[in-house]
């Protein structure tokens, strides 16, 4: 069984500050993928970044980067230079890599509020 | 444009009625999924289908049913056996590659009156 834990219900930052959203996971799979999604108040789910368990480099996508620490089973999302439009709910998710079509398992999310 | 459509956007149901939520994708994805989201909560998996004419129960399948007769379509029926169906329902699809992300539809907000 796989499990995602996001311990921060809410985070508050000011514009242009960097913020780290925590994610820890539990899995018995040797190969797995970790995903981060953003959900604005409109409800749509927006894919942000992916990290494979065997990737040697931490994933980066623009202002998003993933601080992947495999031994600690953590995959924290770092948003650099926060913008007002970053205010949303953020979800971490996991799935095994070698089982095609298997669903993503999501954490409970962290609400990020960015103020000016 | 390729994507996932869900209809209706808002749905109201009386207690004891079955309702069906539509999900259609034109991304040519093999796998499709249904999630339920309660206010301030994460997504919980209801059902998923890896291929046409096959589907598996997720963590909270009780009171729900699905079918997968076509690759493009994965409708979800919320039956009267679902005791607390008021929630936001999200449909998603994915390619066969597990390194690819899930694409989501815009969601259906179901309210039981």
- Cβ of residue A25 closer than 8 Å to a chain B Cβ: no
Tens-digit pLDDT profile for residues A51-82: 999 998 999 999 999 999 999 999 999 999 99
DSSP classification of residue A109: -
Which among B102, B103, B106 has CB closest to A43?
Answer: B106
Q: What is the mean pLDDT of chain B?
A: 93
pLDDT for B43-58, tens place per residue? 999 999 999 999 999 9
Residue B96 has pLDDT above 80, yes or no: no
Sheet bearing B4-7, strands edge to edge: B4-7, B19-25, B76-78, B64-66
Cα distance from A11 to chain B (closest Cα, Å)? 14
Looking at every residue in chain A, the average pLDDT score rounds to 94
Mean pLDDT of B14-32: 94
* B25 neighbors B95 (Cβ within 8 angstroms): no
Residue B113 has pLDDT above 90, yes or no: no
Predicted confidence band of residue B98 (pLDDT cuts 50, 70, 90): low
pLDDT value at residue B97? 73
Backbone torsions φ then ψ of B5, nearest 5 degrees: -115, 140
């Amino acid at each position: 069984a796989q499990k995602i834990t996001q311990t921060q219900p809410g985070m508050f930052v000011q514009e242009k500050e960097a913020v780290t959203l925590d994610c820890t996971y539990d899995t018995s799979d040797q190969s797995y993928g970790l995903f981060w999604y953003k959900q604005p108040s409109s409800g749509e789910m927006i894919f942000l970044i992916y990290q494979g368990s065997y990737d040697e480099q931490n994933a980066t996508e623009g202002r998003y980067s993933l601080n992947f620490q495999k031994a600690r089973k953590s995959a924290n999302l770092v948003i650099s230079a926060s913008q007002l439009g970053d205010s949303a709910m953020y979800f971490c998710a996991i799935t095994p890599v070698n089982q095609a079509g298997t669903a993503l398992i999501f954490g409970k999310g962290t609400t990020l509020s960015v103020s000016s | 444009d390729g994507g996932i459509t869900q209809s209706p956007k808002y749905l109201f149901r009386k207690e004891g009625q079955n309702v069906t939520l539509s999900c259609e994708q034109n991304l040519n994805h093999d796998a499709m999924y249904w999630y339920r989201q309660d206010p301030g909560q994460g997504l919980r998996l209801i059902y998923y289908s890896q291929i046409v004419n096959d589907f598996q129960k997720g963590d909270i399948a009780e009171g729900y049913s699905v079918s997968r007769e076509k690759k493009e379509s994965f409708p979800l029926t919320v039956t009267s056996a679902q005791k607390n169906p008021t929630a936001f329902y999200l449909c998603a699809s994915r390619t066969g590659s597990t390194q690819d992300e899930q694409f989501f539809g815009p969601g259906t907000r179901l309210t039981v009156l």
